[in-house]
Amino acid sequence: MGAMAISTLAGSLLIEQGTSAPYLHSLLPFLRGFTIFYWAAGSWWIPLLIALEIWRYGHQGLHFRYDPQYWGMVFPLGMYSLATYNMAKSMVLPFLLPIADIFFALALAAWIFIFVSMLRSSTSSTIFAN
């Protein structure tokens, strides 16, 4: 999801520059199409990731314990939000702006949750001990 979001962001920035860069004019249809494709592919991952988390913590009954790898979940959420915002702006798709806002809030909530979990685990265990 993060790689698709980065590709979407890159395409959106190229589309924005397409109006002032004559060498990009002929590529704009291609850039628009692949930018939407990358965004759609990144969006497709969201239900799968949600289902996997529900399966892990709901069906398997695992308890949440802080792991540094959880920071890898925060990045795609934030990048997806930024990519959606830039794509909506560069392609004039205002109906996507609420999605960007929702995912920004989710990314911020995930960041806070994982940060607090990190602090709690560092004070209650020997995570930083030799």
Is the residue at 129 inside a domain? no
Any domain includes 130: no
DSSP codes, the chain: -HHHHHHHHHHHHHHHHTTT-GGGGGGHHHHHHHHHHHHHHHHHHHHHHHHHHHIIIIIS-PPP---GGGHHHHHHHHHHHHHHHHHHHHTT-GGGHHHHHHHHHHHHHHHHHHHHHHHHHHHHS-TT--
Q: How far is CA 127 from CA 71, 114, 115, 123, in A?
A: 16, 15, 14, 8
Domain presence at residue 37: yes
The model's confidence at residue 129, banded by pLDDT at 50, 70 and 90, is low
- Rounded to two decimals, what is the model's pTM? 0.84
- What's the confidence (pLDDT) of residue 22? 85
Q: Which two tokens stand for residue 108?
A: 């911020």
Domain span at 82: 2-124
Asked if pLDDT for residue 70 goes beyond 60, the answer is: yes
* Residue 31 belongs to a domain: yes
Distance, in Å, from the CA atom of 97 to the CA atom of 68, rounded to the nearest integer, reads: 31
Mean pLDDT to the nearest integer, 66-71: 87
Kindly report, residue by residue over 78-103, the tens digit of the pLDDT: 999 999 999 999 999 999 999 999 99
Closest CA to 8 of 87, 88, 94, 90: 87
The total number of structural domains that make up the chain: 1
